[in-house]
Amino acid sequence: MFEYPQGYELIAGVDEVGRGPLVGAVVTAAVILDPNNPIEGLADSKKLSEKKRLALAEEIKEKALAWALGRAEANEIDEINILQASLLAMIRAVKSLKIQPHFVLVDGNKIPKDLDVPAQAVVKGDSLVAEISAASILAKVARDQEMEELDKQYPEYAFAQHKGYPTKLHLEKLAELGALPQHRRSFTPVKKVLETKFTDK
């Protein structure tokens, strides 16, 4: 059981999705839930079916006191590294909330530096803290939708299937078709493909 910090009225949960993929932004969400309007079935987004995630995402947007998304683009990830980009995207999500929280619970073991709000990191928070579960669901749904849009632009890469993660299929497509502008250049498989293309010429 997770013990909430005492003496704070508005507590936001923050989570990120998309540290591992080779393409696209890392997407974050921040959520302040309404204690008088509970949401049943909140859990780590990875443990829910897509259908359940989509239904819960709508319910969270409807019932939460405040919610917001944040992001850091592929070029920012390449510039400052994926961990720093994830933390930056978390700050952006919190700052975008229409109501500012008194305390922030962050999934993982690191707290973003410039949050300007007291915060606590919670390991496995997406399974332990309802606010973080809600944030993980919103971030996952938002990022999956972006991958589906990218799939429409570049159907030959099959982004809707692998969501940009380094699966066997994605690595094969990357080797065969080369990297897109949306690919993260600092990630080893992408870097290798770009180097190969460069030395081939």
Segment-wise mean pLDDT, segments of 10 residues, the chain, 201 residues: 93 97 98 96 91 97 98 98 97 98 97 94 95 97 97 97 96 95 97 77 43
Q: What is the number of domains present in the chain?
A: 2
Instruction: Let me know if residue 41 belongs to a domain.
Output: yes
Specify the DSSP class assigned to residue 156. Answer: G
Instruction: Let me know if residue 158 belongs to a domain.
Output: yes
> In this structure, are 162 and 145 located in the same domain?
no
Task: Give the model's pLDDT for residue 186.
Answer: 97
Which amino acid belongs to residue 62? E
Task: Give the model's pLDDT for residue 201.
Answer: 43
> In this structure, are 69 and 117 located in the same domain?
yes
> In this structure, are 94 and 41 located in the same domain?
yes
Instruction: Let me know if residue 71 belongs to a domain.
Output: yes
Q: Which two tokens stand for residue 21?
A: 């993929």
> In this structure, are 179 and 84 located in the same domain?
no
- Residues 6 or more apart in contact with residue 200 via CB below 8 angstroms: none
pTM of the predicted model as reported, rounded to 2 decimal places: 0.94
> In this structure, are 47 and 71 located in the same domain?
yes
Instruction: Let me know if residue 94 belongs to a domain.
Output: yes
Instruction: Let me know if residue 64 belongs to a domain.
Output: yes
Q: Check: CB of residue 88 under 8 Å from CB of residue 72.
A: yes
Task: Give the model's pLDDT for residue 198.
Answer: 56
Instruction: Let me know if residue 139 belongs to a domain.
Output: yes
> In this structure, are 42 and 125 located in the same domain?
yes
Q: How far apart are CA 190 and CA 164, in angstroms?
A: 12
> In this structure, are 60 and 94 located in the same domain?
yes
The domain that holds 58 is classified in CATH as 3.30.420.10
Q: Check: CB of residue 146 under 8 Å from CB of residue 27.
A: yes
> In this structure, are 91 and 44 located in the same domain?
yes
- Give the range of the structural domain holding residue 27, as residue numbers without chain letter: 11-149
Q: How far apart are CA 101 and CA 64, in angstroms?
A: 13
Q: Check: CB of residue 66 under 8 Å from CB of residue 89.
A: no
Q: How far apart are CA 85 and CA 83, in angstroms?
A: 5
Q: Which two tokens stand for residue 54?
A: 């989509």
Task: Give the model's pLDDT for residue 197.
Answer: 66
Instruction: Let me know if residue 75 belongs to a domain.
Output: yes
> In this structure, are 106 and 187 located in the same domain?
no
C-alpha to C-alpha distances, 95 to 13, 29, 37, nearest whole angstrom: 13, 11, 23
Instruction: Let me know if residue 136 belongs to a domain.
Output: yes
> Residue 108 burial (CB < 10 Å; 0-12/13-18/19+)?
buried
What are the φ/ψ torsions at residue 176 (nearest 5 degrees)?
-75, -45
